[in-house]
Amino acid sequence: MRHAPAARAVGLVALVVVVLLGSAYALGRSVVPDPPPAHSTLTTGGTGPHYADQPPAEDPPPHTPAGDDRSTGPVETGQDGGAHPDDTREPGPHDGPFGTQTTSGTSLVALTFDDGPDPNYTPQVLALLREHQVRATFCVVGENAQRHPDLVRAIAADGHTLCNHSWNHDVTLGRRSPAAIRADLLRTSAAIRAAVPDAPIAYYRQPGGAWTVQVVTVAQELGLTPLHWTVDPSDWQAPGADRIAAMVVAAVVPGSVVLLHDAGGDRQGTVDALHRILPDLAGRFEVEALPDGRT
């Protein structure tokens, strides 16, 4: 019985220690921020998918080939990691990330349209191209091709070149296994050919410009030329038709590959900019679709 007070004292001390430890944990949790929500690359609404225009902040930027010392400092990049139009370097045809094609390889200027087809914007783009007798290259997302095969047929019927742009605009596709990349690209090409069975698909463009060795290698193994660009007016940011047009008109030189979008968000500014871009470029250059591989 003489030991009871001592036992109670020990129990009381243990209780106090537990309470203090719990308070310290709660205080620590209150000053440590919760992790950010997972980044989503796709939302829906309007006429179809709206793709996020920038890789998540934690994603690495598109890579420069090992040993490439052409850059003397940071290069401002646009939506898909391409050089800003103010970058004055003169690229060769295959000096993009990991040897991707960045120019037409000739004096031709190539307009390219990513993320479609879209039932609102793609028909407007096609009508303007037809009006100015210009052919372009359309980098098609597989799920959109599946939803709108009539628009894929319209693109092909007007003589434009088709390019594979992955199944659902997966910016991280290049990090996946070669087998997963191959399955994605094959699924996308199958959706395009379901609409146009004999369609030649000569190019692949990685969403986000997030090129990796794996995705470049798989594309080449499938007979697709990895296609980057030289002029990016950042139309994905919807800066307005005047700014989009001014940037393209000022930046284009013979051989330029211009990155534009006919889907993935509000692209009316891009459509409206074409009213100035097309007559200006057609008056100074030969504007043509990239070759589709047919002789």
pLDDT tens digits for 133-152? Answer: 999 999 999 999 999 999 99
Asked if residue 87 belongs to a domain, the reply is no
Q: Residue 2 domain-assigned?
A: no
Structural domain of 114: 98-284
* pLDDT interval class at 81 (50, 70, 90): very low
156 within a domain of the structure (yes/no): yes
What are the pLDDT digits (tens) for 36-57? 333 333 433 445 566 644 333 3
Tell me if 85 is assigned to some domain.
no
Mean pLDDT of 5-15: 49
Q: Is 112 within a domain?
A: yes
Catalytic residue numbers, as ranges: 114, 261
Number of domains in the chain: 1
Mean per-residue pLDDT, 150-174: 98
Least confident of 65-74, 114-123, 176-185: 65-74
Give pTM, 2 decimals: 0.73
DSSP annotation string for 198-251: T--EEEE--GGG---HHHHHHHHHTT-EEB--SB---GGG---HHHHHHHHHHH
Residues 6+ apart with CB under 8 A from 129: 135, 136, 158, 160, 274, 278
The answer to whether the beta carbons of residues 128 and 271 sit under 8 Å apart is yes
CATH of residue 112's domain is: 3.20.20.370
Decide if 60 is inside a domain.
no
Sign of CA dihedral 129, 134, 140, 146: positive
